[in-house]
């Protein structure tokens, strides 16, 4: 998946009624800040996040 398309990812729909999400990834430096803020906006659906920058 392209990094910029992750900014459009519908996290609540991905979570659905299942377990909370665990997000793990190696983020490209140039888009890491917008991605992290996007994930933080939906933190109610995310159990934890682990990133390497």
State pTM to two decimals. 0.81
**3-state DSSP call for residue 2?**
coil
Q: Which residues lie below 8 Å from residue 4, measured CB to CB, with a gap of 6+?
A: 31
**What is the model's pLDDT at position 5?**
82
If phi over 0 gives left and psi between -120 and 50 gives alpha, with beta otherwise, what is residue 40?
alpha
pLDDT higher than 90, residue 6: no
Q: Which residue has the tokens 């109610």?
A: 44
Task: Count how many Cα atoms sit within 13 Å of the Cα of residue 6 in the half-sphere of its side chain.
Answer: 18
- Please give the torsion angle defined by the CA atoms of residues 6, 12, 18 and 24, in that order, rounded to the nearest 10 degrees: 30
pLDDT tens readout for residues 9-45: 899 898 888 889 999 999 988 899 999 999 999 999 9
């Amino acid at each position: 998946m392209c990094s910029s398309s992750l900014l459009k990812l519908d996290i609540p729909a991905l979570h659905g009624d299942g377990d909370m999400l665990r997000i793990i990834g190696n983020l490209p430096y140039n888009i890491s800040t917008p991605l992290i803020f996007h994930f933080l906006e939906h933190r109610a659906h995310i159990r934890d996040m682990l990133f390497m920058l």
